[in-house]
Amino acid sequence: MLYVCATRAASAVFPFGERVSMARRKKIYEGKAKILYEGPEPGTLVQYFKDDATAYNAEKRDVIEGKGVLNNRLSEFFMTGLNGIGVPTHFLRRLNMREQLVRACEIIPLEVVVRNIAAGSMSKRLGIEEGTPLPRPIVEYYFKDDKLGDPMVTEEHIAAFGWASQQDMDDMVALALRVNDYMSGLMYGVGIRLVDFKIEVGRIYDGDYQRLIVADEISPDSCRLWDIETGQKLDKDVFRQDLGNLTDAYTEVARRLGVMPKQATHLGKPKLIN
Ligand SMILES: Nc1ncnc2c1ncn2[C@@H]1O[C@H](COP(=O)(O)OP(=O)(O)O)[C@@H](O)[C@H]1O
Ligand SMILES: [Mg+2]
């Protein structure tokens, strides 16, 4: 399956129908949840979604069958919607079950987190009970470095160490808050509370002009999603806290949003056509 998809994706680079093997597609980076390959056109990358799940800085890990397929579809869905309302993202198009074509960008080495309700590390660090609504969305930055455990940083660190300019930070906050409004509304419409999420932001160049876009992924791996009625967790905390089947939780999110086609249970017995 993978071989077929990879061949099809790569054949765009070689329009004369040469046989292209998987080995000829250049792997750029393999991370915890995704693999980046060189894309078919300059300035593009193919983002492959793996089934690997990690938590607590990869201390806990497992392979969750189907997670990559769900995240590929969900990230496509969210980013298409964001592109549609004028929030720029790296997403170009989905290629197959596990891969999407994205714009290559220079990733700013920060995770930008927006919180609407206290949970996770904020609850622990500040002693705020999980589930407490925050008076306003709070934006936080974490330095993307697995060896250091992605430490929280302030704008002072970011400016002093040159990870981003003050203008970049203002743009990142504006992007993150627009993503928050869009995602909160979308989720509210299907009975889910957007508790918090993280995005990664990348820089792209159009000639002399540069701008920031939402990159990486937006999926239940990078959001906290709670059912409004029951409080049930429908995100990666299901894996972090051993609360049940992660694929079932992500499938529920996709089902509510109408993203995944329903299981083909309606097929039944073949019928004679007169
Ligand atoms: N459009 C893009 N251009 C370049 N790099 C990207 C883009 N989108 C995501 N990335 C990077 O690709 C990697 C995705 O793989 P992932 O498994 O999430 O890695 P990690 O283990 O570093 O979180 C991340 O390091 C992310 O910053
Ligand atoms: Mg990642």
Mean pLDDT of 232-243: 97
Residue from 106, 104, 105, 97 nearest 9 by CA: 97
Please provide residue 23's backbone torsions phi and psi, each rounded to the nearest 5 degrees: -65, -25
Please provide residue 177's backbone torsions phi and psi, each rounded to the nearest 5 degrees: -70, -35
CATH number at residue 215: 3.30.470.20
CB atoms within 10 A of CB 64: 18
CATH number at residue 87: 3.30.200.20
Our mutation pick for probing the ligand 1 site, out of 26, 27, 28, 29, counting the most ligand atoms within 8 A of Cβ, is 29
Name the closest-CA residue to atom 13, ligand 1.
31
Residue from 239, 241, 237 nearest 224 by CA: 237
pLDDT band at 269 (very low <50, low <70, confident <90, very high): low
Ligand at minimal distance from the CA of 109 is: 1
Instruction: Report whether pLDDT(197) > 90.
Output: yes
Instruction: Report whether pLDDT(125) > 50.
Output: yes
pLDDT band at 23 (very low <50, low <70, confident <90, very high): low
Pair (169, 52) in one structural domain:
no
Pair (184, 95) in one structural domain:
no
pLDDT of the residue at 22 = 53
Q: Which atom of ligand 1 is nearest to the CA of 104?
A: 3
Instruction: Report whether pLDDT(190) > 80.
Output: yes
Pair (141, 35) in one structural domain:
no
| Tokens, residue 206 | 């159009």
Instruction: Report whether pLDDT(154) > 60.
Output: yes
pLDDT digits (tens, 9 = 90+) for 55-106: 998 999 999 999 999 999 999 999 999 999 999 999 999 999 999 999 999 9
Domain's final residue, options 77, 103, 129? 103
Pair (115, 99) in one structural domain:
no
Pair (133, 113) in one structural domain:
yes
Pair (118, 252) in one structural domain:
yes
CA 120, 52, 9, 210 torsion-angle sign = positive
Mean pLDDT of 199-215: 95
Secondary structure (3-state) at 142:
strand
pLDDT of the residue at 260 = 75
Strands 52-55 and 44-49: unpaired
Pair (209, 117) in one structural domain:
yes
Q: Which residues line ligand 1 (CB under 6 A)?
A: 29, 31-34, 36, 45, 90, 102-105, 107, 200, 202, 215-216
pLDDT band at 25 (very low <50, low <70, confident <90, very high): confident
Rounded to whole angstroms, how far apart are CA atoms 254 and 70?
Answer: 7
Domain's final residue, options 84, 103, 122? 103
Domain's final residue, options 103, 118, 139? 103
| Residue 271 forms part of a structural domain | no
Ligand at minimal distance from the CA of 33 is: 1
pLDDT of the residue at 66 = 96
CA distance to 19, 98, 200, 247, per residue, from 3 (Å):
12, 12, 29, 24
Beta bridge partners of 142: 111, 152
Instruction: Report whether pLDDT(111) > 90.
Output: yes
Q: How far is the centre of ligand 1, averaged over its atoms, from the C-alpha of 81 (Å)?
A: 21
The letter for the amino acid at 242 is D
DSSP string, 196-239: EEEEEEEEEEETTEEEEEEES--STTTEEEEETTT--B-STHHH
Name the closest-CA residue to atom 10, ligand 1.
216
* 37-46, 90-99, 138-147, 253-262: least confidently modelled range: 253-262
pLDDT of the residue at 167 = 97
Pair (144, 96) in one structural domain:
no
pLDDT band at 19 (very low <50, low <70, confident <90, very high): low
What is the residue range of 247's domain? 106-257
| Residue 262 forms part of a structural domain | no
pLDDT digits (tens, 9 = 90+) for 248-267: 999 999 999 999 755 544 45
Instruction: Report whether pLDDT(156) > 60.
Output: yes
| Residue 272 forms part of a structural domain | no
Pair (97, 133) in one structural domain:
no
Pair (126, 253) in one structural domain:
yes
Average pLDDT, the chain: 91
pLDDT of the residue at 206 = 86
Total number of domains constituting the chain: 2
Residue from 78, 225, 200, 72 nearest 141 by CA: 200
Pair (96, 116) in one structural domain:
no
Secondary structure (3-state) at 269:
coil
